Chains A and B, each alone.
Chain A
Amino acid sequence: MSVKIFKINEDLKEFMPQEIIDLEEKATWGNPKRGVMDLPYAKELIEEHSLCAGCPESVAFRYILASLPNPEDTVIVNSTGCSSLVFPHIALHTVHPLFGNQNSVASGIKRVLEWRFPDKVKDVVVIAGDGATIDIGLDCTLQSFFRQEKITTICFDNEVYANTGGQDSGATPRGMEFKMAPGGKQWDKVPMWQLAIDSGCHYVARLSVSSPKKVEQVVKKAIYVAREVGPTYIHLYTPCILEIGLNADQGLWEMRQRDKERFKFFEYMTDEAKEVIERKKKEGLL
């Protein structure tokens, strides 16, 4: 994709709605230093979303889309779940494959893009929920790590199958009860970040989206490392406030509580990844 795709023909500009003119004039294209600090001033790549009021996933979307270093040349692969409701509203190329095979599809897209555009940097980012990443799509997720695919995988972990009424998922902590899982989860939460490390990811981070700047940093690090070294994985806590009985304004509070326990910030990187990150820091891109 080229930035030109957002340049409106002068002859037809007067017929375009302001939000599209803003996308051309006020969005932060072609600037790898873009980040969450642009949010109050720049046009966002997401329009009105269709998630619940106060949903932390919508916050995660805003931070991630504001942090992509190369949005005009980024393809996002998503999967079924709450997050998939948002993708039609964002101004980037997105692909919605079958439930769970998002990392396989992303692998294919990345390989084709490398072959088709050898002189260009094209980032492929997977964004999927915990059901798609850890349960239904675990095979495809881990296999892409084993194959050392140069893609970034971001898991939105809300610890439950939320939009189907509240069934426990692999990411649900032991003992947690939901409407459709009244007996409580009988097993431990799958430590996906650890599986990612063991399966060959070069950069892994676990955090909640309570800190915008931190989210920006890990997204950029993960994408830069994936470009040059191999697979990277980010595990983000984005609680479903409805399923855990909170109000629309309590998402941030919930995330801050979990920041102190099971979503305490955790970062892992291999030596190769560290080299890339240090270099990008020197270049002023991190």
Chain B
Amino acid sequence: MAKLGPAGYSPYPVSVVEGVLTPPPGKALMFNEIVDEEVAMREAAKAMLTRENPTIFPGPQVLYAWNEEAKRKAKFVRKMAEVLGAKIIPMYDYRPKYPKIDPEKEINPNHPNLTIWHNKIKACIFIGVHCHYANVALKIIRAETDCFTIAMCSMAGHEDAMITLRDQHSEDLEKFIRIAEEVKRELGK
């Protein structure tokens, strides 16, 4: 089973070597288990509400107003941050920053661990990051930090996140926000 926390650097910082693959359509992935989407959403909300310094990392697909869906998603990301009491740190593009990033204000896929370490982030949501860079960043975070990662992906998901929600569009974000509000009430927050 994929472990929460430092997974040890090379040779295998990737969950696929442990046989973990992305979930089938309609389902979600929690560590190495295929579960119902709602179950995974509840656990994701719980992780964000109970762990230290929860943060949402929106990527270019929601940061920029390149279509109507992106505009709707941006509103939901904002709402999600309010409900979860989470910070928003953008991954606005994938260029390596020279000479270095400002970890308080940004996250870069080439060294995402710097932002996680600096802000002591123990739970995070990736949303709107293009697949290749989400894969790279999630592997590095999995190998180098003890941050609980949640991928809200509009496509097939990312097996290196501890919770993967696939095919997430604006209506799914709305559903997640409703579930997060419920979990928040249950936790008495």
Q: Are B64 and A48 in contact (CB under 8 A)?
A: no
Q: Are B93 and A91 in contact (CB under 8 A)?
A: yes
Complex: A49 Cα to B96 Cα, angstroms: 10
Which residues of the partner chain A approach B60 to less than 8 Å between Cβ atoms? 5
A9 within 8 Å of B (CB atoms): yes
CB under 8 Å from chain B, chain A span 244-283: none
A4, A17, A89, A91: the one within 8 Å of B65 (CB): A4
Which residues of the partner chain A approach B62 to less than 8 Å between Cβ atoms? 9, 12
Complex: A8 Cα to B78 Cα, angstroms: 14
Flag the segment in B29-37, B99-107, B130-138, B143-151 that touches A. B99-107
A50 within 8 Å of B (CB atoms): yes
CB under 8 Å from chain A, chain B span 95-123: 95-99, 102, 105-106
Complex: A90 Cα to B95 Cα, angstroms: 8
A22 within 8 Å of B (CB atoms): no
A33 within 8 Å of B (CB atoms): no
- CB of B16, distance to nearest CB on chain A (Å): 26
CB under 8 Å from chain A, chain B span 156-187: none
Q: Assuming the A-B contacts A12-B74, A15-B88, A48-B98, are A7 and B66 also in contact, with contact meaning beta carbons closer than 8 angstroms in the complex?
A: yes
The proximity string for B residues 70-86 relative to A, scoring 1 for CB distances below 8 Å and 0 otherwise, is 11001101100000000
Q: Are B65 and A7 in contact (CB under 8 A)?
A: yes
CB under 8 Å from chain B, chain A span 1-36: 2, 4-12, 15-17, 20
Chain B binding surface SS class: loop
Which residues of the partner chain A approach B13 to less than 8 Å between Cβ atoms? none
Q: Assuming the A-B contacts A9-B74, A89-B95, A89-B96, are A17 and B64 also in contact, with contact meaning beta carbons closer than 8 angstroms in the complex?
A: no
A88 within 8 Å of B (CB atoms): yes
Chain A binding surface SS class: mixed
Complex: A11 Cα to B72 Cα, angstroms: 10
Q: Are B64 and A7 in contact (CB under 8 A)?
A: yes
**B58 and chain A: residue at smallest CB distance:** A12
- Interface size in chain B (residues, C-beta < 8 A): 27
- CB of A206, distance to nearest CB on chain B (Å): 31
- CB of A62, distance to nearest CB on chain B (Å): 15
- CB of A10, distance to nearest CB on chain B (Å): 8
Complex: A4 Cα to B63 Cα, angstroms: 11
B89 within 8 Å of A (CB atoms): yes
Q: Are B77 and A50 in contact (CB under 8 A)?
A: no
- CB of A25, distance to nearest CB on chain B (Å): 13
Q: Are B98 and A16 in contact (CB under 8 A)?
A: no
Q: Are B92 and A5 in contact (CB under 8 A)?
A: no
Which residues of the partner chain B approach A91 to less than 8 Å between Cβ atoms? 93, 95
A5, A11, A50, A89: the one within 8 Å of B78 (CB): A11
Which residues of the partner chain A approach B63 to less than 8 Å between Cβ atoms? 8-9, 12, 16
A38 within 8 Å of B (CB atoms): no
Which residues of the partner chain B approach A88 to less than 8 Å between Cβ atoms? 95-96
Complex: A12 Cα to B71 Cα, angstroms: 10
Which residues of the partner chain B approach A198 to less than 8 Å between Cβ atoms? none
- CB of A191, distance to nearest CB on chain B (Å): 36
Q: Are B66 and A17 in contact (CB under 8 A)?
A: no
Q: Assuming the A-B contacts A4-B65, A15-B88, are A9 and B93 also in contact, with contact meaning beta carbons closer than 8 angstroms in the complex?
A: no
B54 within 8 Å of A (CB atoms): no
Q: Assuming the A-B contacts A9-B74, A17-B92, are A48 and B99 also in contact, with contact meaning beta carbons closer than 8 angstroms in the complex?
A: yes
Instruction: Pull 7 A–B residue pairs with CB atoms less than 8 Å apart, ordered by A.
Output: A9-B70, A9-B71, A11-B75, A16-B63, A16-B92, A89-B98, A91-B93
3 residue pairs, one from A and one from B, having the closest CB atoms: A9-B74, A11-B74, A7-B65
Give 13 new A-B contacts, CB below 8 A, not counting A5-B66, A7-B65, A11-B74. Answer: A5-B60, A5-B64, A6-B64, A8-B64, A9-B70, A12-B58, A12-B63, A12-B88, A17-B106, A20-B93, A89-B96, A89-B98, A91-B93
